[in-house]
Amino acid sequence: MPEVETSRLRLRMFEPGDLDTLCLILGDPRVVRYIGIEAGKPFTRAECEDTLNRAIAAWTKYGFGRWAMIDKSTGELIGLCGFRSREGTPELLYILAENAWKKGLATEAAAGCLRFAFEELEVSHIIAFTRSENVVSRRVLEKLGMSYEGEVQEAGVDGVMYTIAREQFTPDESAFYRCDSSS
């Protein structure tokens, strides 16, 4: 399965052994403050396990999915980044542990994901959804060159939609390379 590296991050496939750390990340109410129908509700262990299993299975089902985000300097799992399928269209998502905030890592990981999707998967466009009040995530999407499309409601959650087409994306040549998982 494919992996992506950026200057500071390695995006690799999730493994069953990631469950405990993923539970710590998704169990933090501050981390999940804008996530899910019940925003701010920490994930249970069963919900974390389901998230992990869906992240692994998506690659086979859709040809894209979510990676474990690894800090290359420490080797620690610090979040997830990648795509889920929104009616066949890749939807960008990212979640970082609180100790990884305010370092530009969400933008770096998301830019690597966009480049992978446009160059390797040759998708035509990518969408992203976030809650209206999540100004940090909105700033990340705007830094990536994504366009604000307006307010939407997804699964009963009010939010905003962003999009980017392949021809609108400008990759950062210095901070990305693709490798396979055997590397």
Q: Architecture of domain 2-180 in CATH?
A: 3-Layer(aba) Sandwich (3.40)
Tokens encoding 18: 């990631």
d(CA 95, CA 80): 5
Residue 180, strand partner residues: 2
Give the tens place of pLDDT for each residue, 141-162.
999 999 999 999 888 889 999 9
pLDDT of residue 170: 86
Check pLDDT > 90 for residue 20.
yes
Confidence of residue 75 (pLDDT cuts 50, 70, 90): very high
pTM, full prediction: 0.91
DSSP character string of the chain: -EEEE-SSEEEE---GGGHHHHHHHHT-TTTTTT-STTTTPPPPHHHHHHHHHHHHHHHHHHS--EEEEEETTT--EEEEEEEEEETTEEEEEEEE-GGGTTSSHHHHHHHHHHHIIIIIS--SEEEEEEETT-HHHHHHHHHTTPEEEEEEEETTEEEEEEEEEGGG----GGG-EEEETT-
Q: Write down the mean pLDDT value for the chain.
A: 91
Which residue's structure tokens are 């992506």? 4
